[in-house]
Amino acid sequence: MFFRILSIIFPIFAIIGAGWLYARLRHRNGGGIDMAFANQLNMEVFVPALVFAALVSKDFALGSYRDLALAALLLMFGSGIVAWWLARLLGEQPKTFVPPMMFVNSGNMGLPLMVLAFGDGALPAAVVLFFVENLLHYTLGTWLLDHHARLWNLWRVPVIFAALLALAVKFVEVPLWPPLLVAIKLVGDVAIPLLLFSLGVRLALSQWSDVRLGLIGMVLRPATGMLFAALLARLLALDERDAAMLMVFGALPPAVLNYVFAERYHQEPAKVASLVMIGNLGALLFIPLALAMTLQ
């Protein structure tokens, strides 16, 4: 079991480590590093292509993932409620603490992790979890930080547009030319390694500004996530694979997008950066734990 878990997590953390090492070496040699264009290209082209290809595949049937999507939503809401209560107890601003405890790294880490752990057939379910998390992050997450934010143009977010387009294609049963679908899949294949590499770069550039809050979040995020995953899997009678994927989803660390949103809305970005960085380092402990609990 140890070597099986190691074989799953090693490629993920090796690529993250490569990004971290590259950024540190560039910084040490006096060179700057700007991942802005690469990240923009990934979120506007490669990840949408990955989402579209997964959702239009023959293996994807929307109705079969309804309970998994509902479980993911309830898990995030439950984690958010616990985090709101603890933030009040600690004297921290809920707007700072709650989003990183709710919205997880379902893209950078979740997608490759679930494919490596559960096989290529798990990609559609992993994409559903990624889409549900992103949709809630861009809606509720934005509203939490700015109650006056306009959400009517959410469809313009490339990842969400790609998912809606794929669902429309599946609904009207539009046949796609196989070579076109192959091309879209090839473009989407760029997304996962670039997501991991850019995460490593981001972690290398982050600051340890509030270790106390970061350590609390490092434990709270996966602990509440895995607890709600276990309860919801039983309550909704999820099948074995979906229950295992939900457990891994619950163990994921805070999404890097939390830091991006905190910067945009001036919501204590230094504290959020620490929550994200320390939480992702804590994944070295909690991800293997979640895999040990789910793999047979």
Residue 93, helix vs strand vs coil: coil
pLDDT of residue 62: 64
Q: What is the pLDDT of residue 260?
A: 77
**Residues 6 or more apart in contact with residue 7 via CB below 8 angstroms:** 116
Which domains are delineated in the chain?
A: 2-294 (1.20.1530.20)
Question: Whose structure tokens read 């091309």?
Answer: 183
Q: Are 189 and 5 in contact (CB under 8 A)?
A: no
pLDDT in tens, the chain (296 residues): 678 788 888 888 898 889 889 988 887 777 777 777 888 888 889 988 988 888 887 666 667 889 999 999 999 999 999 999 999 999 999 999 999 999 998 887 888 899 889 988 888 899 899 889 988 998 888 888 887 767 677 777 888 888 889 888 888 887 888 899 999 999 988 888 887 888 788 777 766 666 888 899 999 999 999 999 999 999 999 999 999 999 999 999 998 888 878 877 888 887 888 898 889 889 989 999 999 999 86
Cα 90 to Cα 93: distance, rounded to the nearest angstrom: 9
Contact predicate 283/252, CB 8 Å: yes
| Pair of tokens at residue 9 | 């997590």
Contacting residues for 80 by C-beta, under 8 A, at least 6 apart: 98, 101, 102
What does the alpha-carbon distance between residue 265 and residue 235 come to, in Å, rounded to a whole number?
Answer: 37
Q: Give the pLDDT confidence score for residue 170 in this predicted structure.
A: 81
pTM: predicted TM-score of the whole model, two decimal places: 0.84
Q: Is 64 helix (H, G, I), strand (E, B) or coil?
A: helix
How many Cβ atoms are within 10 Å of 4's Cβ, its own excluded? 11
Q: CA–CA separation, 96 vs 276, rounded Å?
A: 11
Structure tokens at 70: 């509902």
* pLDDT for 56: 84
Measured distance CA(119)–CA(42) in Å, rounded: 23
d(CA 113, CA 121): 13
